[in-house]
């Protein structure tokens, strides 16, 4: 008996750009709260868009560390199999719950075997470094951003 599997992707650059508008809104929200700089919001948006164009991202996280050391954030799982048709509005992060002095960062998890040398070289040029750690747990799904079957599923991570 023989089995075969074909994977179809709904990825297009236009769909990535559309979905990333919502993520950028959320990055700007973190900047307005003082957790990241507006410059970092723009840079991270550009860098994440590049990585999504290269189709190497499994998920990325917008992480926050409070002055007491608590880590919380949002995981954005890539969905490119055509199954995601939900289109939420950006926002609803409840960043007001985090204290002043909280700092934000980005963590990216790459698809296994997909990070080629050209992409790795470009990410090094953009000052991305390896290391860091993902937020623990499954998270709670609270939003999804999609365009014609391609999108990101946002999960709230940590103890808010």
C-alpha R_g of the chain: 16
Q: What is the pLDDT of residue 8?
A: 75
Q: What percent of the chain has pLDDT over 90?
A: 88
Q: Is the pLDDT of residue 102 over 60?
A: yes
Residue length of the chain: 160
Mean pLDDT for the chain overall: 94
Residue 3: pLDDT band by 50, 70, 90 thresholds?
low
Among residues 76, 75, 72, 74, which one has the least CA distance to residue 98? 72
Residue 117: pLDDT band by 50, 70, 90 thresholds?
very high
Cα angle for residues 48, 49, 54 (degrees, 5° grid): 95
Q: What is the pLDDT of residue 2?
A: 58
- Alpha carbon distance 1, 73 (integer Å): 46
Residue range 78-100: mean pLDDT, rounded:
94
Q: What is the pLDDT of residue 26?
A: 97
Domains of the chain: 13-113+134-157 (3.30.900.10)
Residue range 63-70: mean pLDDT, rounded:
98
Q: What is the pLDDT of residue 86?
A: 87
Residue range 65-85: mean pLDDT, rounded:
97
Q: What is the pLDDT of residue 7?
A: 58
Q: What is the pLDDT of residue 73?
A: 98
- The predicted-structure confidence for 30-39, as pLDDT tens digits, reads as follows 999 999 999 9
Residue 87: pLDDT band by 50, 70, 90 thresholds?
confident
Q: What is the pLDDT of residue 1?
A: 60
Q: Is the pLDDT of residue 116 over 60?
A: yes
């Amino acid at each position: 008996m023989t089995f075969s599997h074909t994977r179809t992707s709904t990825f297009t650059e236009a769909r990535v750009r559309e979905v990333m508008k919502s993520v950028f809104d959320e990055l700007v929200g973190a900047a307005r709260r003082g957790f990241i700089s507006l410059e970092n919001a723009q840079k991270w948006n550009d860098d994440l868009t590049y990585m999504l164009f290269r189709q190497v991202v499994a998920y990325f996280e917008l992480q926050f560390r409070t002055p007491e050391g608590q880590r919380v954030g949002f995981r954005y799982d890539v969905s490119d199999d055509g199954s995601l048709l939900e289109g939420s509005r950006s926002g609803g992060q409840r960043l007001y719950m985090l204290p002043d002095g909280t700092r934000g960062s980005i963590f990216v998890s790459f698809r296994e075997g997909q990070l080629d040398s050209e992409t790795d070289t470009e990410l090094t040029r953009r000052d991305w470094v390896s290391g860091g750690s993902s937020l623990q747990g499954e998270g709670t799904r609270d939003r999804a951003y999609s365009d014609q079957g391609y999108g990101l599923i946002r999960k709230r991570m940590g103890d808010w």
